[in-house]
Structure 1
Amino acid sequence: METSENKSFFDRFSDWSTAAAGSPSAFLIALALIMIWAGTGPIFKFSETWQLVINTGTTIVTFLMVFLIQKAQNKDSKAIQIKLNELIAAHEKASNRIVDIEDLTEKELDKLHRYYQKLSDLAEEDTDIHQSHSIDAAEDNHEHKMRNKIIHQQIEEEDK
């Protein structure tokens, strides 16, 4: 594992600035700056230069924050993917084919999504909420249940 001493300057800076920018103190400072700027409006007669100061300042801050937010989002996304991959790998009945789906094309992800939607539909028909299905076994399990249901119905009809 990489310790904080081994992190690049940008990694350390982005971690620090992301945490700082999301803090209540940062919000209060930004609010105070806006109030000071608004308060100076009458002094500068709400001139174009006065408006340009806030427009330029907010544009620069927004531009830089986009990169910091994206860096934090990439890091969080990667960490979540790794955690999910570990859960999939640790569960003996889970399909390991799911581990690297983030590398699939949009079309392949759509196809997989439709499959999981079908799996969800099958699960909704199931009366046992604790029953789960793997991708590979979902249709077989559903067909097996339907056959058993038909057999049970036939037995009930014969008993009548």
Structure 2
Amino acid sequence: MSLARAAGAVLRPTQRASTTLVQRRAASSHAHEEHHEEHHEEYHDSNVYEPEAPISRFQVFNTPFWRRAVIAGVGIVAFYKFAPEPTNDTALAKYISSTMTAPEVWRDASFKHLVLSAKGSEETLLMADAKPPVVHRYRFPQRLEQYSPHAQPVGISLKVDDVVVKRD
């Protein structure tokens, strides 16, 4: 034990004892168990709680909303069960066919689009594959003018009459 702790215990014994007792009581569960059961019967909740929220119309199934939903479902099922056959003589089919564009118009427009797309792709390929013409550059183009038609072996005849040397 250090000298400072010993001096503290000698000078303030009462304060040290009460601190230890408080710490022991806060950490102990045995000190309060016998009183806990006696006060349990006398305990009353003093909190004030808000009333419960009213039940919405979607939480109860006997409301007019659910009644209408069931009637609509039964009506849809009955309509599909007893509806006329899907032929061209029904009123709905006649209305839809009168408001639709003729198939020939769509076929012609699709063919025109196909032709224009093919032409556009050909032009795109032409531009992508385009290369400038090959140019042969000679280091000494004046040698073409120095050509002599004489002193050539037999069988080799080179005509350079139409060759024009470009000067840059």
TM-score (norm 1): 0.21
Instruction: Specify which structure has the higher proportion of helix.
Output: 1
The one of the two structures with greater contact order (alpha-carbon pairs below 8 A, sep at least 6) is 1
